[in-house]
Structure 1
Amino acid sequence: MTTTYTVTVDSPEIMFGLTGVESVKQNIRIICTTIIGSCPLDRELGVDPVAIDQALPAAGALLQVNIQSAIEEFEPRATVTDILLDWKDEKLIPTIKFVLTEEVGGS
């Protein structure tokens, strides 16, 4: 049976030394909270800001598509199964559900 993991993209805290699924979760958070072009060593990393200033339904759809493709490109250990969006404090907060595409070591 495949385990589905959930990560909510609302914590900017970065922890060092993570392994296993916790490393994958943190990578997904970093990908989703980084705007393309803002990472000096990898200008392609992140999510396209095209959703900013769009009407809520359009912004949600654009954000889901951008998150899906960014995770596929930058975190090959995860396969996204669902992306849920929650409107909180004037922001769309994504929650990503995923399965591991490969066995990861650690906890």
Structure 2
Amino acid sequence: MEFELTAGERVDVDFAPQNVQMEILQNCSTILSTSKFSVPLDRDFGVDANYVDAPLLSAKAKAESEIFAALKKYEPRVTVKQITWRSNVEGVLRAKVKVVINET
């Protein structure tokens, strides 16, 4: 089963998720909404945002690479299947990340 997450969207933290699936998806959302160097005891946690002012194609490529690497490192129970891009009327561009939870 595929799940779609939006990079940069904060979700409320549930300290007692209903099941492992919800825990994994919450972990992925946290990874995708955290900038590298912002977590004091793990400066590598999250997604590097140094691409923000880069040309669009370069920024997308860098962001996709960062998303794949961060999820692989910090939540290996998922596989990234696809990353698409959506923008709103204000021009905010966000990655839509489709993941599949690996069988454990």
One fold, TM greater than 0.5?
Answer: yes
* Structure 1 ranges of 4+ moved more than 6 A: none
Deviations 1:15-60, CA, capped at 9 Å, x for gaps: 2212322222211111111111101222110111221101112111
1:12 aligns with 2:10: yes
Secondary structure, counterpart of 1:84 in structure 2: strand
Q: TM-score, normalised by structure 1?
A: 0.83
Unpaired runs of at least 5, structure 2: none
Aligned to 2:64: 64
Counterparts of 1:95-106 in structure 2, within 5 Å, are 95-103=96-104
Residues 43-82 of structure 1 mapped to structure 2, 5 A cutoff: 43-82=43-82
Q: Which residue number corresponds to residue 92 of structure 2?
A: 91
Aligned identity (percent) is: 29
Q: Is this contact kept in 1: 2:34–2:47, CA < 8 A?
A: yes
CA RMSD of aligned residues (A): 1.5
Greater shift in the superposed pair: 6-15 or 22-31: 6-15
Shift of 1:10: 4.9
Specify every segment of 5 or more residues in structure 1 that has no aligned partner in the other structure, as ranges: none
